[in-house]
Structure 1
Amino acid sequence: MATPNDTVALNDAVTPDDTAALDGERLEAAMGHVFGELGVGCTAPLIVLGDRLGLFRALAGAGPLTSAELAARTGLVERYVREWLRGVAVAGYLEHDPAADRFTLTGEYAAVLADDEAPTSLIGVFPGFQALWADLDRVEGFFRTGGGMGWGEHHPALGRAQERFTRPAYVHGLIAEWIPAVEGIVPKLEAGAAVADLGCGHGLSSILIAERWPRSTVTGFDPDDASIAHARAAAAEAGLDGRAVFEVADAAGFPGDGYDLITFTDSLHDMGDPVAAAAHARSALAEDGVVLVVEPLAADRFADDFANPYARIGYAISTLVCTPSSLAQTGAAALGAMAGEAKLREVLAAGGLTRVRRIAQESAPVNIVLEARP
């Protein structure tokens, strides 16, 4: 049996207090890096408050404002607004005029933080952090025991954030650039095509396709009941009259065939058996049908991802959400969000989709967009 003295000795051996042996400059740099990260983490809730309370929208285009003027514009308490302004300004999101004590949201930052319709909007990402923290204890358990959790098991803030922050990319990318880059598909969509959207989540991509090409019919499939219920309600609200319908189904066994276009919009890596999903998609295609795969930007070699501006976000979300999603399903392939183009091509080829072409690279700065055919 260990004695108290044994415990002290063990702890001393494991965590010696001997920083003198460390490189001073590198230690200072490490502390500076981590301290900076603490600042980023602490600022994120202020960004969410600025969004929820309409502070960014009130600042957009208003020019320099004092805290009192911004409080009057928003109907909020000045003392809170003053502290918020200072916190967001020292974080670099606002410009500050010390002589007049006025704060300005530049047009560039407004395009990122105050306008959901802008192609540069990123504000929708921040509310999702609530889900990442809320689900952290469960993910910690998976590290110890294995297993995982589906998208529908996460805090509801995750699904809402996913729908919101992907909208600009889907409107300005998927609809305007990526689908039109698929060889021969636009004339079919304009004439009336059958589309299957696999792993559709809240149905945003399906609804946008149906709205853009009203003669086509889109069926969205997702294994999560709550997501499909949300998608059906959203389609009804959009008045699509059956042109976008939704069914609970796994990508490896969804019903129907003769689809002119099958899409995996940021979903293939979440699936338990992506090869089976690709194979089933192949079997469900029309004679000249095509599969469109949209995945996060990742290098084929991990060492090259250090130069990838998206990699930090991608690996974090993959650890906390995407890998647990796959490991909760049959197959448990755990492809991960950062699989890279070579691995994606390997998966598609194993599913019988051997003619693969990367498209829309200029309009997809943080995505890999692939056109795949048998």
Structure 2
Amino acid sequence: MEVNEVKSSQVNEEKLHELLGKMVNEMGAAAIGPLIILGDRLGLYKALEEYGQVGSRQLADATGTSERYLREWLAAHAASGYIEYHPEQDQFSMTREQAMVFSNSESPFLMTGAFYAISSMYHDEEIMEKAFKSGEGVSWGDHHSCLFCGTEKFFRPSYRTNIVPNWLPLLDGVVDKLKKGGKVADVGCGHGASTTIMAEAFPNSEFIGFDFHENSVRHAAEGAKKAGLKNVSFKVANAKNFPGADYDLIAFFDCLHDMGDPVGACQHVVKALKPDGTCLIVEPYAHDTLEENLNPVGRAFYSFSTMLCTPSSLSQEVGLALGAQAGEKRLKEVALQGGFTKFRRATETPFNLILEARP
């Protein structure tokens, strides 16, 4: 028997076709990513939500776009189950649930921002190929610019929904301090979404956002100025040397795992906090073992971690490379090694662990 015949006889045809079917689905998911970004930029989702059931010509006129291009865009979305198609009228519409994911800027389930960040990952394929071969890191600022706006657009809806009403009240005594007038450091603040959300809610408190990426700090400061916020400022600094002391609250929003030396960052935070201060650590949701994270959420975060989080950590001092699926057990080890004596899970969401650490 020839080698090819042996290999063929060992193939499980059912499993092969199951895998092929999965890959066809993956191809569609990857291909529609740029269409999602276009839909967001051109206001197509918002227009579709506002018009209700509408034809492609009317929607094209309303959005100032080409009907022929828009027709293909609508068809791709209908085939994906992202919008509804009504063949009798040859029209399209969006359900309330679809609007919450694609068009409603106030929805905590808005997902369009993630595709900007995913776009950056495709742009960065060449530099990541070199990193895979060399083992060297890739600094956050060396990624494609789509990453920075995408990160903000993805996290802001959840932060706006959760930080003030759901997360801060679960931290011991923090809300009372902020209402009276506290001092807060938001470390790794990026474009400042989390910082400004807290500053708007607690006008008596002082908020300082720190990030080592200068362009992000500049963007954050401009956003705060446009919002007219007087109790917030932004400075370039990393997690191990940001200035100030006697903070009531120091927060890490989805960034501790990106740091080269998260233990050192925790050590600095312990020194910078008041004796009764609190550290809020928000991290991507993860279980403690690989087998427990083999699910759709883990799949997404492991992919982001491969292209963004792990290379960012490896580019810095120590390069611990926790990864975006570190899990609560590993994060607790880091916090305790950094000098915290108390650590607990305050709550969780499908995408985040909300952890409280205290000196």
TM-score bracket for the superposition, by shorter chain length: over 0.9
Equivalent positions of 1:330-349 (< 5 A) are 330-349=317-336
**Counterpart-to-counterpart distance in 2, 1:366 and 1:129:** 17
Asked if 1:92 corresponds to 2:77, the answer is: no
Distance, in Å, in 2 between the alignment partners of 1:224 and 1:103 is: 42
- 5 Å-filtered alignment, 1:100-249, equals 100-241=89-230, 243-249=231-237
Specify the code of the residue in structure 2 equivalent to 1:317.
F
| 1:333-356 deviation line (CA, Å, top 9, x unaligned) | 001011000001110010111211
Shift of 1:267: 0.8
AA at the equivalent of 1:366: F
- TM-score with structure 1 length normalisation? 0.92
Aligned residue for 2:82, secondary structure, equals coil
Q: Are 1:40 and 2:25 an aligned pair?
A: no
Aligned length: 358
Q: Deviations over 1:29-79 (max 9, x none)?
A: 111111110111111112122112211111104232111121122222211
What code does the residue aligned with 1:325 have?
A: S
Residue type of the alignment partner of 2:347: A
Distance verdict in 2 for CA 1:373–1:123, change over 3 Å: same
Aligned match of 1:5: none
- Offset at residue 317 of structure 1 (A): 0.5
- Aligned to 1:258, which of 239, 242, 246? 246
Aligned to 1:26: 15
Alignment of 1:296-315 (within 5 A): 296-307=284-295, 309-315=296-302
The residue number in structure 2 matching 1:6 is: none
For residue 57 of structure 1, what is the aligned residue in structure 2?
A: 46
The alpha carbon displacement at 1:210 in A equals: 1.1
What is the one-letter code of the residue matched to 2:46? R
Report the CA distance shift for 1:218/1:16 in structure 2 as closer, same or farther (over 3 A).
Answer: farther
Distance 1:303 1:344 in 2: 18
Q: Is the 8 A contact 1:116 1:123 kept in 2?
A: no
Question: Which of 345, 350, 353 does residue 365 from structure 1 map onto?
Answer: 350
Q: In the superposition, relative to structure 1, how do residues 86 and 174 fare at CA in structure 2: closer, same or farther (>3 Å)?
A: same
SS at match of 2:19: helix
Give, in angstroms, the shift of residue 112 of structure 1: 0.8
Write out per-residue CA displacement over residues 148-177 of structure 1, whole angstroms, 9 at most, x where no aligned residue: 122211111100011111111111111221
Q: Tell me the residue number matched to 2:261.
A: 273
State the shift of 1:214 in Å: 0.6
Q: Secondary structure at the match of 1:195?
A: strand
Distance apart, 1:297 and its partner CA: 0.3
- Report the residue type matching 2:158 in the other structure: A
DSSP-derived class of the 1:180 partner: helix
Report if aligned partners of 2:34, 2:119 keep a CA contact under 8 Å in 1: no
* Other-structure match for 2:271: 283
Verify the 8 A CA contact 1:196 1:262 in the aligned structure 2: yes
Structure-1 separation of matches of 2:5 and 2:199? 62
* Alpha-carbon distance in structure 2 between the residues aligned to 1:373 and 1:99: 62
User: TM-score normalised to the size of structure 2?
Assistant: 0.96
Secondary structure of 2:85's counterpart equals strand
Which amino acid in structure 1 is aligned with residue 255 of structure 2? S
Give the superposition deviation at 1:121: 0.9
RMSD of aligned C-alpha atoms? Answer: 1.7
**TM-superposed deviation, 1:129:** 2.2
| In structure 2, distance between residues paired with 1:266 and 1:274 | 12
CA contact (8 A) 1:112 1:120 kept: yes
